[in-house]
Chains A and B, each alone.
Chain A
Amino acid sequence: MNQTVFVLGVNHRTAPVELRERLAFGNGEVIGVLTRLKAQSPALCEAALLSTCNRTEVVGVSADSALATRETLAVLGAVRGVDCKPLAGASYRFEGADAVRHLFRVGASLDSMVVGEAQILGQLKFAYAQAVAAGTVSLVLHRAFHKAFAVAKRIRKDTLIGHGSVSVSSVAVGLAAQIFDTLADKTVMLLGAGRMAEIAARHFKAHGVQSILICSRTFENAAAIAQELGGTAVPMQSLRNYLKLADIVIGSLAATQPILGPSEFEAVIRERRYRPVFLIDLGVPRNFDARLNGIENIYLYDIDDLEKVAARSRSERASEVERAEAIVELELAAFLKWLERLELVPAIKRIRLSMEELRDLELDRHRGWLMALDAEARERVEMLTRGLMNKVLHRIMTGLRQGVDGSREGLDTAELAGRLLCGGGRSHSFDDEDGSDSGDAI
């Protein structure tokens, strides 16, 4: 009757993409797989299926999680025609506290390929909704998923895990946001049409930049990229005329010495009425003279500078991950406590029932002289016996709860207490009752 949460899955770390592809389920397929699991795995009490491009996982609840895991594996293999052996080799399994921790970490994007990405929470919510629709979720998974959502939300709120950007392009955009109030009315100029410059330009476009100028050694190249990015190609010989329009210049030309230096920009900055210019030098060797950074309202970052900023924000994120992990542990402990108390419920119910029964029996036995008393006295005897019973019960409950907080011993003690109070012969009938209590899951 002791139900355990387990996780069986493959992800980007354990399985090659070929296997993950075969195990990926479309949004419309999830309910079907869950229904099949329910039908073909008797050991499984509750289940949910999470399928994203980086992971396929079944979160389940079972009294015999080893058996349920095997059955689940077999069903998944059968659904997708994958041999169980390689599947078992590429998969990971977690049980009990580890499984719940894993679920929390997945939801909080601590297990993602890009830590801190926001999509996974939506995918987890979808998985939960599908499982609810399939009717394969009950008490434990309801609570576990809702906790996972709450943990993810709290981590997003209390740590900066979702904030830190780490690629060179996103650092460039982040720095631009520290210089410019908005990017919507800014012009980005690509000097040279290298791959990195293009990626950076796309980043800027995604953050609101609408005007892009492309200047390349061969005008055809510039025109091609201009078409792709929705920008304007500018011939190299008229670069100087266009320079004053550019708020952000991304340089990636192959050149042996700097293409632009202070002499070009002295006039430009005056013509721009001292509006700031952000120069991003992705070229090696560098496109911009380093002295440009000394000019008023010009901010020059070369590839090394950007890398340094990226590295700093990466280490920042690592410390945020530590904080996030601490939150997971905290919430995990709370959840496990709840789970253990949940396991106590049948035992406590059994003890209370048997005590009530004993009291009724005793009152019945003494019915003769009790009936001879007046109503008030009878009432007092009632009160006395009930009071005594409640006092004893209270002591037992408190003891059990304290025991449970510490270890599994508490549960055994609860069993033992239940058996002692119910008397050996009667316990079977109560077990049946428990069966009907928890059997409604699947």
Chain B
Amino acid sequence: MRVFSLVAVIFYALSALNFGLARSGGSARWMRVGLTALVVGVAFHGIDLVVGSLRAGNLPVGNFPEALSFLAWLTALAGLVLIARFRFAVVGAFTASAAFVALGIAAMLMRRGKLVLPAALRSGWLPIHVTLAFLGYSLFLLAAGVSALYLVYESRLKGKHPFPVGGPPTPSLERLDFINYRLLGWGFLMLSLAIVSGSIWADATWGHFWSWEPQESWSLVTWLLYAALLESRLTVGWRGRRAAALTLVVFTVLLGSFVGVSLFHPGKHGGSFD
């Protein structure tokens, strides 16, 4: 395990803890500490990625743990933007825990030694394609988190057990629904651009845009699912609980395909380039 990622893991844990305390106690101080810890964690994590990039000569995403680490970093970064905009400790608690778990797993699986990227991957397209795709994933992850939160809050209101009126402010259902919508929209845009950039790159390298390898097919499936999800909101107006539940379902598909493809059908996306 590398030193910087270890430090980042610790700060993510610290951040998650403080945001959790801020949630239950409603104190602004915990929130500030949590936010600071998250920023520090992202900074160390970023240094780790820079060091990795310098060693590999490109984005260090040649194997599953490295990719997971990069994904965790983008999630934490996107989460930071979200917290800065909406000021909800509970979003911080979710983001920091997600970053902690993802980077923790990645760090445990990481092997020491020099990562050598195959020749086919040493391209300017790699960082563009991978960053877009992973940014899309991390926005979908945050959308899923916000949707889970929505379902919990909504069931409390429906079940006549709302949060104490006049207690520390909690995000309203309408606000959570709106955040979910925006995250889905941006995530969808990123995923679309990732698919387009990937096709162009594939055409430049192998001479064809699309080769129906597992990751590509699954990307197409998730892209269609997210498109349908956004479509249902824009045309029929499906929102609220229905939208939240569907966001979670589609994200489960996405998560399954990402982990499944990476572990069992690596193909070009998993590092086999024969």
Chain A interface residues (CB < 8 Å from chain B): 160, 163-165, 170-171, 174-175, 177-181, 272-276, 293, 296-297, 299, 301, 305, 308-310, 312-313, 316
Contacts and interface: CB of A to CB of B under 8 A. Distances in A.
Nearest to A310: B165
Interface stretch (B152-160, B198-206, B258-266): B152-160
B32 interface: no
B167 A163 contact: yes
B175 interface: yes
Interface in B185-232: none
A179 B166 CA distance: 14
Interface residues of B, number: 26
A297 B240 contact: yes
A313 B172 contact: no
A17 to B, nearest CB: 29
Nearest to B26: A160
Contacts of B237: 272-275
A189 to B, nearest CB: 18
Nearest 8 Cβ contacts at the A-B interface = A273-B237, A174-B165, A181-B174, A163-B166, A181-B175, A164-B166, A165-B166, A297-B240
A274 B162 contact: no
A22 to B, nearest CB: 36
Contacts of A160: 26, 166-168
A160 to B, nearest CB: 6
A208 B237 CA distance: 26
B178 A175 contact: no
Contacts of A177: 169, 172
Interface in B235-268: 236-242
B164 interface: yes
Interface of B: 26, 153, 157-158, 160, 162-170, 172-175, 178, 236-242
A275 B237 CA distance: 8
Given A178-B170, A181-B172, A299-B158, A170 B165 contact: yes
Contacts of B241: 296-297
Contacts of B157: 175, 178-179, 299
Contacts of B166: 160, 163-165, 170, 174, 313
Nearest to B241: A296
26 contacts: A163-B166, A163-B168, A164-B164, A164-B167, A165-B165, A171-B165, A174-B165, A175-B162, A177-B172, A178-B165, A178-B172, A178-B173, A180-B173, A180-B174, A181-B174, A181-B178, A273-B239, A275-B237, A275-B239, A293-B158, A296-B240, A299-B157, A301-B160, A305-B160, A308-B160, A316-B164
A179 B165 contact: no
Contacts of A305: 160
B53 to A, nearest CB: 41
Nearest to A316: B164
Contacts of A165: 165-166
A361 B192 CA distance: 98
A116 to B, nearest CB: 9
B172 A309 contact: no
A299 B167 CA distance: 20
Nearest to A173: B165
B160 to A, nearest CB: 5
A179 to B, nearest CB: 5
A318 to B, nearest CB: 12
A276 B164 contact: no
Contacts of A181: 172, 174-175, 178
Nearest to B178: A181
A178 B239 contact: no
A175 B154 CA distance: 12
A309 B165 contact: yes
A42 B166 CA distance: 49
A177 to B, nearest CB: 6
A51 B51 CA distance: 69
